[in-house]
Amino acid sequence: MENIIPHDFHIGKTDRNKLNAHDSFVVWFTGLSGSGKSTIANLVENELFKKGIKTFSLDGDNVRKGLNNNLGFSPEDRYENLRRIAEVAKLFVESGSVIIASFISPLEKDRKLVKSIIGVENFVEVFVNTSLEECERRDVKGLYKKARAGEIKNFTGIDAPFENPQNPDLEIKTETESLEDALKRIVLHLEDKLKISVQ
């Protein structure tokens, strides 16, 4: 690593944000499989896009199909999965985009790693809080049934832990809050974040 010298480019995040007329950052959705993360994230991106915001989505399954297709679900691989995603998200923030990231990211230490890579000032954590019972009832992808049958190992919520975020920027309780209300609340929270600070 001693021979690696990062290049200093003439155009940076501040320049791109001014061009786009909005700030750039990551909105990180965390929660159990089936909690509704991707559904809500997709709706949020759609609303921001309609407002003329430069956005890009990163989603767990999509990333594992490409960039991280050599990783499994051991604690070490989960850690590396999130580390790579955080580095990619950081690049997109530098490009001037609002990144909508949807990942289970079950451990607090791993979410802290992501936040440290991206930068606290560029990170909005949204905890999609749906009970395990409700996620199993939905079982949109049929994964809980397979996990209960022992066909999937290290499945979050069954034989791998999920640690609830202690201080998320937003908490969405999908069992008591409608999608419409959750969407309004998230977009409202992001509106101030989108404003460019006066230099």
* 22-52: pLDDT as tens digits: 999 999 999 999 999 999 999 999 999 999 9
- Quick check: helix, strand or coil at residue 96? coil
Catalytic-labelled residue, pool 35, 38, 105, 116: 105
Q: Which two tokens stand for residue 193?
A: 């974040």
Those residues with Cβ within 8 angstroms of residue 45's Cβ, 6 or more apart along the chain or in another chain: 55, 57, 100
Judge whether residue 198 has pLDDT over 50.
no
Residue 50 C-beta-side C-alpha neighbours within 13 Å: 7
What is the longest distance spanned by two Cα atoms in the chain?
Answer: 57
- Quick check: helix, strand or coil at residue 165? coil
* 69-93: pLDDT as tens digits: 999 888 899 999 999 999 999 999 9
The angle at the Cα of 146, spanning 141 to 152, to the nearest 5 degrees, equals 105
Name the pTM for this structure. Answer: 0.91
pLDDT band at 60 (very low <50, low <70, confident <90, very high): confident
Number of continuous H segments (helices) and E segments (strands) in the chain: 8, 5
Judge whether residue 62 has pLDDT over 50.
yes
Judge whether residue 185 has pLDDT over 50.
yes
Known catalytic residue at 35: no
